[in-house]
A and B are shown apart, each in its own frame.
Chain A
């Protein structure tokens, strides 16, 4: 077996980091799209839709992401659908992220004063038009900081896909550890790479939030 230099370790981890980034992007964007559907269902007029969305959120927020990954991973096959590891991981992460994003955004939509619904309705706008022209633009503004903040959770969530065998940063860490016998260095580096990925997102989220609070205090 060949010897790993520190550079070999870092290089292999960096290569695996690409998968972490890709999986995070897919989960975040996909989760956002499904999350929008959840949001619309959650604030829809029909009670059945609202209840269904609430159940969805409870289910995904009330069970471990790891279990969701396992179930997606071994579940699809049982129902005659064959999905490769990365797709099962992606689907589970998307559904999980959607539950959180949908709930975060519902909070933002509801924070926009109720009176605005009535005002825009009195202008003869349909519910979709109200949503599109009045509520969403305002809700969007206050939704950005917590949404960016949640992206950190998505990046960290991808670490769990290592357990179902997806070779991303964490899995690469365990594999390299066994080839090098240097768990302290390897896991230290892995943590550092995650930090390098997440910290800028956290800082951005905090900065956006401060900016928003400042601009709000002008009212």
Chain B
């Protein structure tokens, strides 16, 4: 093997990497918060909504879950301007992530709600809670707690999937690696370093979600 590894470029290019990490985190944060809210809304519609609404949400969920994120991103960024909808690369990336996570979160949350025994709802109503209160305390919160690990895994998957937003020139961590590669021709080293950073981000994100779970769902024994 004649190749010698060289990591000297880090000294010059670390600000590019830091900026990339921040953008990846920003995308994950927005995608996570808005995506989960969208997922809750869609799960609610799918379970209790009117038939036409259920159909629309169902089509959305199936369409997103059965096409690659990269193609969704290209369609939003390059395709939608044909309809007069022009988004910057960060908006496009944010929207693509929200739309993507929303579809998966919808299915996860719906499954969680369906796993709630019917009797619990009636028990709640018999305690003189309103239907909304009952839904919130008896159905939604315990369901969310039940599916929190699945939701956390999905969020990690979406965070790692966000690597492709570099393809529309959104300046995330992968973009940083590509940029450095095009300037230093140290392709392997640049990708190696960014892969390690992604690994750390994934571990941290998983821990953070677990911690958040404990915070949001106190006073309930973990199952």
Identify the A interface with B (CB < 8 A): 59, 61-68, 70-71, 74-75, 78-80, 152, 156-157, 159-160, 162-163, 170, 173-174, 177, 182-184, 186-188, 190-191, 194-195, 198-199, 202
A208 to chain B, nearest CB (A): 16
A-B contact count (CB 8 A): 122
Report the Cα distance A78→B190, complex, angstroms. Answer: 14
Is A198 a contact of B67 with CB atoms below 8 Å? yes
- Establish whether residues B71 and A62, one from each chain, have CB atoms under 8 Å apart when the complex forms: no
B62 and A199 form a contact (CB under 8 A): yes
The 4 A-B residue pairs whose C-beta atoms are closest, nearest first, are: A159-B68, A198-B66, A64-B163, A184-B82
A157, B157: Cα distance in complex, Å: 12
With a cutoff of 8 Å between Cβ atoms, the chain A residues found around residue B163 in the complex are 64-67
Q: Given A63-B199, A187-B75, do A170 and B68 touch, yes or no (CB 8 Å)?
A: yes
Within the complex, the shortest CB–CB distance from B117 to chain A, in Å, comes to 15
**Per-residue CB proximity of B152-195 to A under 8 Å, as 1/0?**
00001000111110010000001001000000000110011011
Q: How far apart are the CA atoms of A159 and B164 in the complex, in Å?
A: 10
Q: Which residue of the partner chain, among B74, B156, B188, contacts A78 with CB atoms under 8 Å?
A: B188
Residue of B nearest to A199 (CB): B66
Find out whether the CB atom of B68 lies under 8 angstroms from the CB atom of A156.
Answer: yes
- B residues within 8 A CB of A66? 163-164, 174
Q: Kindly list chain A residues whose C-beta atoms are within 8 Å of the C-beta of B56.
A: none
Contact, CB under 8 Å: A194 / B68: yes
15 contacts between A and B (CB under 8 A): A62-B199, A62-B202, A66-B164, A67-B174, A67-B194, A68-B195, A70-B177, A71-B195, A78-B3, A160-B164, A183-B74, A187-B75, A188-B79, A191-B75, A194-B67
User: Does B70 belong to the interface (CB within 8 Å)?
Assistant: yes
Assess whether A152 is in contact with B187, with CB atoms less than 8 Å apart: no
Task: For A20, give the chain B residue with the smallest CB separation.
Answer: B68
Contact with A along B73-105 (1 / 0, CB 8 A): 011001111110000000000000000000000
